[in-house]
A and B are shown apart, each in its own frame.
Chain A
C-alpha cells in the first residue's frame, strides 16, 4: 500500500508538471519552471509566519503570490531593461530563493521548514501524511488529494484553452492580431505552473519538479511531431517514470525522488538514441541502402 501511494503521488506530479512543461518548452521558457519552483520559497515562509500553520491554503496563496511575482519580474526585466530572458530568470529566482533562505534561518526556531525539504522533498513521507476526517475516518494521504485536484485543474485549463495555448506558443503576433491576449495566456500558464510547483514541492521537492516539468516533455518532443501526441506521450512517460523510479529506489535503497529524476534522464537518453538511429536509417534509405538493423542481421 505504501508503494502504491508513493507511485501514485509521483505519477500525479509527473503528469501535471509534464502537461504544463510541454507548453513551457515549446515557448522556449523551460527554465521559468526552475525559477518559479525556487522563487516560491519566500512566499511559503511568509505564509507560514503569518498563518502559523502548514495548512495547504495559506501555503498555496503565499507561494502562488511569489511564483507570479517572479514571472512578473522576469517579464519586466526582459522587456524594460532589454535583458535576455535567461539572465532575467537567473537574477530573479536566485534573489527570491535567497530571501527565502534568510527568512528560514532568521526565524529558524519558528519555522518547521528547511532548505533540504524544499529542494529535495521527501516523497517517502507521503503515506504518513494522512487525511483524517472529524469522525476519525482515514481517507488516505492528504497530498494525493491535493495533487489530484491540481491535476484536474490543469487538465481543465489545457482542455478549455488548448487552441489559445497552442496559438500563443506558436505564433504570438498572429494571436494578438486575432485579439487573443498573449499576456493573459502567458500569466495563466505561469499561474498554473506556480500552483503545480507549490502543491508538488512538499512531497517531491523542487528539483524533481523541474525534472518532471522538462524531462518528459523534452523526451516526447523527440518522439513526435504532433502536439496532442506529445501531451499523450508525456502522460505515459510520467506514469512509467514514477513506477520505475520507485522500484529502482527500492532495490538500491536510495532516494526515491533522486531515482525518479535519474529514470527521467535515462528515458530522455533512450529517446535521443532512438531518434538518432531513426534519422540515420532515413538517411541510409534515401541513399538507397537498407536500414542499419537489417544490414547487420
Chain B
C-alpha cells in the first residue's frame, strides 16, 4: 500500500540499489510531504540505512532517481542535512564538541574559507537547543552515547537545512534523551522542516511518526501512519520470521487498545 502526496518535498522514483551486483533495494517508489516526521521502519537487513545513504548520494543507485524539492541533490545540498549512525565515526578523534558542531557550517562557508564568529554563535545556539552547551569545550571522547547523539543532532541543526535525514538517532540512547530528541524533532517539524528517521522499534514508531515507510528490501507500505501502519502491513514487512510474528501481533494489539493495559 503506497500513498503518494500531491506536493512532494522528497520523491524517490523506482530506486534499485545493489552491492556488488546483489540487489539490496528493489524498485523503491514513494513521496513525502513537507513538515512531517517520517519513519523508515523494517527488520534488520531491510536496507533502511542503504535507502538513506542512496538518497544522500553516498551510494550510487543501479536505477531510478531521487528528487528533493523537485531538484537533484547536487542543486539543493545546502537545504539537506544528514546525520550518520553514531557508530560510524571514531569518537576518540582529537576534536571538541564545538568543533564537531561547527562542521555543520562547512557546507555554508565553502572551500578554503574558515568558519567565522557568526558560525560559532550559530553552533553554540544549536548546542543549547540540544542541552549540550556546558559541554562545548569538552573532548568528544568524554561523551556518553546519548551525548554523542545530541552532538550529532546539534551539528545537523547548525546546517540550517529544510530536510533532515537521520540514521538511527535513537540507537543506544536512554529514554530521557530519546524523549528530548523526539521533542526537538516535533518542534522542528512544527516550523515546516521535514525529518526522515531510520528507526527499528515498532512500539514507538506509531507515536513518533506521522508518516511511515515500511521496508523489507521491497517497499511494503508508505503513507500516513494511521493508514499504512496496520498489523497486516507490519506482518508483511516482517514476514517469514515466524518467531517475530507473534510479537508483532502483541505490539499492534497494545498500541491499538492502550486502555487494556491500565
Residues of B within 8 A of A225 (CB): 94, 139, 141
Q: Say yes or no for A72: interface residue by CB 8 A criterion.
A: no
Min CB distance A80 to B, Å, is 9
Q: Say yes or no for B175: interface residue by CB 8 A criterion.
A: no
Nearest 4 pairs of A and B residues by beta carbon: A177-B82, A178-B107, A225-B139, A173-B84
Residues of A within 8 A of B193 (CB): none
Tell whether, in the assembled complex, residue A170 and residue B95 are in contact, meaning their CB atoms are under 8 Å apart: yes
Q: 11 interchain pairs (CB within 8 A)? A: A26-B93, A163-B109, A166-B103, A171-B89, A173-B53, A176-B57, A177-B56, A177-B57, A177-B84, A178-B77, A225-B141
Tell whether, in the assembled complex, residue A227 and residue B94 are in contact, meaning their CB atoms are under 8 Å apart: yes
Instruction: Compute how far the CA of A221 lies from the CA of B141 in the bound complex, rounded to whole angstroms.
Output: 13
Q: Say yes or no for B176: interface residue by CB 8 A criterion.
A: no
Min CB distance A226 to B, Å, is 6
Residues of A in contact, count (CB < 8 Å): 28
Tell whether, in the assembled complex, residue B77 and residue A226 are in contact, meaning their CB atoms are under 8 Å apart: no
Q: Say yes or no for B111: interface residue by CB 8 A criterion.
A: yes
Instruction: Compute how far the CA of A173 lies from the CA of B107 in the bound complex, rounded to whole angstroms.
Output: 13
Give per-residue flags for A163-176: 1 if the beta carbon is below 8 A from chain B beta carbons, else 0. 11011011101111
Instruction: Compute how far the CA of A170 lies from the CA of B88 in the bound complex, rounded to whole angstroms.
Output: 10
Q: Give me the interface of A with B, judged by CB distance under 8 Å.
A: 26, 28, 82, 160-164, 166-167, 169-171, 173-180, 221, 224-227, 229-230
Q: Say yes or no for B106: interface residue by CB 8 A criterion.
A: yes
Q: Which residue of A lies closest to B113 (CB)?
A: A163
Q: 13 other contacts beyond A82-B20, A162-B114, A227-B94, with CB at 8 A cut-off?
A: A160-B112, A163-B114, A164-B111, A166-B99, A170-B100, A171-B88, A173-B82, A176-B57, A177-B80, A221-B94, A225-B141, A227-B93, A230-B94
> Quick one: which of B58-78 are within 8 Å of A by CB?
58, 74, 77
Instruction: Compute how far the CA of A82 lies from the CA of B74 in the bound complex, rounded to whole angstroms.
Output: 29
> Quick one: which of B75-133 are within 8 Å of A by CB?
77, 80-82, 84, 88-90, 93-96, 99-100, 103, 106-107, 109, 111-112, 114-115
Tell whether, in the assembled complex, residue B80 and residue A180 are in contact, meaning their CB atoms are under 8 Å apart: no
Min CB distance A223 to B, Å, is 10
Interface of B is mostly: mixed
Tell whether, in the assembled complex, residue A179 and residue B77 are in contact, meaning their CB atoms are under 8 Å apart: yes
Residues of A within 8 A of B114 (CB): 162-163
Tell whether, in the assembled complex, residue A174 and residue B139 are in contact, meaning their CB atoms are under 8 Å apart: no
Tell whether, in the assembled complex, residue A170 and residue B103 are in contact, meaning their CB atoms are under 8 Å apart: yes
Tell whether, in the assembled complex, residue B88 and residue A173 are in contact, meaning their CB atoms are under 8 Å apart: yes
Tell whether, in the assembled complex, residue A178 and residue B106 are in contact, meaning their CB atoms are under 8 Å apart: yes
Residues of B within 8 A of A177 (CB): 56-58, 77, 80-82, 84
Residues of A within 8 A of B107 (CB): 178-180
Given contacts A163-B115, A177-B58, contact A170 B74 (CB under 8 A): no
Min CB distance A250 to B, Å, is 35
Residues of A within 8 A of B81 (CB): 177
Interface of A is mostly: helix
Given contacts A179-B107, A224-B94, A226-B95, contact A171 B115 (CB under 8 A): no
Min CB distance A183 to B, Å, is 12
Instruction: Compute how far the CA of A221 lies from the CA of B90 in the bound complex, rounded to whole angstroms.
Output: 14
| Contact partner, A170, options B53, B58, B93, Cβ 8 Å | B93
Tell whether, in the assembled complex, residue A174 and residue B82 are in contact, meaning their CB atoms are under 8 Å apart: yes
Min CB distance B86 to A, Å, is 11
Min CB distance A16 to B, Å, is 20
Residues of A within 8 A of B74 (CB): 179
Residues of B within 8 A of A226 (CB): 94-96, 139
Instruction: Compute how far the CA of A181 lies from the CA of B59 in the bound complex, rounded to whole angstroms.
Output: 13
> Quick one: which of B188-213 are within 8 Å of A by CB?
none
Residues of A within 8 A of B94 (CB): 26, 221, 224-227, 229-230
Tell whether, in the assembled complex, residue B106 and residue A167 are in contact, meaning their CB atoms are under 8 Å apart: yes
Q: Which residue of A lies closest to B167 (CB)?
A: A173
Residues of B within 8 A of A173 (CB): 53, 56, 58, 82, 84, 88
Given contacts A26-B93, A170-B93, contact A163 B106 (CB under 8 A): yes
Instruction: Compute how far the CA of A170 lies from the CA of B176 in the bound complex, rounded to whole angstroms.
Output: 28
Given contacts A179-B107, A225-B139, A225-B141, contact A174 B95 (CB under 8 A): no
Min CB distance B184 to A, Å, is 19
Q: Which residue of B lies closest to A174 (CB)?
A: B84
Residues of B within 8 A of A171 (CB): 84, 88-89, 103
Min CB distance B113 to A, Å, is 8
Min CB distance A140 to B, Å, is 34
Tell whether, in the assembled complex, residue A170 and residue B111 are in contact, meaning their CB atoms are under 8 Å apart: no
Instruction: Compute how far the CA of A225 lies from the CA of B137 in the bound complex, rounded to whole angstroms.
Output: 11
Tell whether, in the assembled complex, residue A227 and residue B95 are in contact, meaning their CB atoms are under 8 Å apart: yes
Tell whether, in the assembled complex, residue B90 and residue A170 are in contact, meaning their CB atoms are under 8 Å apart: yes
Instruction: Compute how far the CA of A152 lies from the CA of B77 in the bound complex, rounded to whole angstroms.
Output: 34
Residues of A within 8 A of B57 (CB): 176-177
Min CB distance B111 to A, Å, is 7
